[in-house]
Amino acid sequence: MADLSAALDASLDEAPLSRFHTRSVFTAGMGFFTDAYDLFIIGVATTLIAPQWHLSSAQTGLVNSITLISAFVGAFLFGRVADVFGRKKIYGLEAALMVGGAIASAFAPDLIWLLVFRFILGIGVGGDYPMSATLMTEFSNRKNRGRLVGMVFAMQGLGTVAGYVAGLALLSAHVPDGDTWRILLGLGALPAASVLYMRRRMPESPRYTDAVLGDTGEAARDIEGYSDGVVRVPELSGPGRAAPAAVPLGGNARRRGSMRLATFLSTPRYLLLLLGTAGSWFVFDYAYYGNSVSAPLIVKSVLGKQGAGVLTEALALQLILFSVAAIPGYFLAVHFMDRIGHRRLQWIGFLGMGTAFLLIGVIPNLTTLVVPFLLLFGVSYFFAEFGPNTTTFVLAAEMYPTRARATGNGISAGVAKVGAFLGVYLFPIIKSDFGVAGSLKLCFGMAVIGFALTLLIPEPSQRTLDDISPDEVIAVAEGVVRQHVPDTEPAA
């Protein structure tokens, strides 16, 4: 059975790009379209909510950031459950939470209920990170894995643009502020709802079925059907071979279960990898979400204007800036990632965005010069996408073995969202005390730390998942010999 498992992995690793990969990217990617829309539109919404509900700065910051702190809960919870019970059993639940949370937020009667509904939304947003990243990674081939998983994440850019466009359209149409923010929040339900059915129809990850459930035949049958025969395991389905469903269990094919959480967190290799994947993601998200969610505030500050139309002008500038600088960064990262290297691209991104932040912080009076400021701010956006915003997502899904992949990814994504929470919550306070330049100097420091933490991550580009995180490491961690894998262990 070990040979059959290797044959299954090889079939997945060397499969040509085809329609089933595209279908998987769309199904997973629409969740990230929703994530981005919901997370970044709140900065516009609270600008309208604050005067209507007479919110203090602290209350406004809490509304802006509550979804991010609950995303920590969702990422860890869904990541662990996906390893223990399987990806398919819960895939779609996180999208349902996003749908329900968005609709409920649109009808929130007061601050408390808005916080409750945004918290529920955040659990779904957080859960989408390990679920979609893990499934897409396990369906991907070796040669194009970075591109495929990166395309899922690149949908974030389109979701952000959609949020800006929706906000501009409603503000330009002079829709009353009280209706505008409710419509903006409610629209977040649409993209997630569009893929609920497709997510429930996806098969279980073949790598999970094989490695955790121990049923190589079922794994081969599922992926052959889902890929319309593109992925075939000759040893199981060739002429004169047994049908996949008839392959018996036994020997190394016995159900092994997920890796225990205590084992995962006590293995030095995985702790170092977590420091690299979770740590670099944390410092990046602090800088990125603090800037992005507070972008209307930053641009308004640089414009130096007040009045009813300033939000519309700031939002229009932000849309142009994001479309010109960030969107190309996303898709160039997707195109070149597997050629440049996933870790190397993360270094390039941290270096570029950090340099832009530093220049804004140290050049005298730059934050009062609209055009130079926007150019450098745009450079920071480009290198954020052409680098760590994309690569942190991809790397965290590649570094861990199948039996703990969603757990490692969930912890990394959850820790990152704590960084995002701190960035969004603290950015207005730091800006108030030290100005835009001072807040971006701190972001430069975060980029330096992220660059250093990336050293802890091995280069995974063009390597198979088994080569990146081999079974021998699991055997040593669990204190067993590979040939004598124990029965299912109790999951943490």
What domains can you pick out in the chain, each with its CATH number?
2-478 (1.20.1250.20)
Q: What is the pTM of this model?
A: 0.86
Q: Are the beta carbons of 290 and 426 closer than 8 angstroms?
A: yes
Q: Round to whole Å and give the CA distance between 486 and 84.
A: 16
Percent of the chain residues topping a pLDDT of 70: 86
Q: What DSSP string runs through 302-341?
A: HHT--STTHHHHHHHHHHHHIIIIIHHHHHHHHHHHHHH-
Taking residues 100-127, report their average pLDDT.
96
Cα separation of the two ends of the chain = 27
- Between CA 39 and CA 74 the distance in angstroms is 14
Distances (CA, A) of 247 to 10, 27, 175: 18, 30, 62
Query: CA 160 to CA 43: how far, in whole Å?
Result: 12
292 close to 419: Cβ distance less than 8 angstroms: no
In whole angstroms, what is the distance from residue 201 CA to residue 210 CA? 19
Confidence of residue 4 (pLDDT cuts 50, 70, 90): confident
Alpha-helix runs per DSSP H in 86-176 = 93-106, 111-139, 145-172
Q: How confident is the model at residue 133 (pLDDT cuts 50, 70, 90)?
A: very high
**Distance of alpha carbon 404 from alpha carbon 413, whole angstroms:** 14
Whether 252 contacts 384, CB under 8 Å: no
160 touches 49 (CB < 8 A) = no
- pLDDT band per the 50, 70, 90 thresholds, residue 138: very high
